[in-house]
Amino acid sequence: MPPDTIQPIQEVLNRWILAGQALVGSIGALAFVFAFLWRMTAVEPKSVLQARQWIQRIVIGTVGVEMAGTLVHVLTSSVPAH
């Protein structure tokens, strides 16, 4: 494929990746704060365990989005430009 054909696709992918990372980052940070507060104020052991699980899910989801963005960047950068 010619570079002028791939460039618009890379720009769209980069734009969507940045939007997704920003969205996950802001929502993830808010969710993390709420889960942390829930954990700190929970009285029952079951609630503490559930809050810990949610914190783990939030962290793993955020890391997953970052890794997916990096993978897409690596894959789109590896397309040879002739």
pLDDT, tens digit, for every residue of 48-61?
A: 888 889 888 888 88
Residue 43, in any domain of the structure? yes
Residue 5, in any domain of the structure? no
Residue 32, in any domain of the structure? yes
Q: Which domain holds residue 21?
A: 10-74
Q: Output the pLDDT for position 3.
A: 62
Residue 61, in any domain of the structure? yes
Residue 15, in any domain of the structure? yes
Residue 38, in any domain of the structure? yes
Show Cβ contacts of residue 26 under 8 Å, excluding neighbours closer than 6 positions. none
Q: Output the pLDDT for position 41.
A: 87
The count of C-alpha atoms lying within 13 angstroms of the C-alpha of 68, restricted to the half-sphere facing its C-beta, is 14
Domain count for the chain: 1
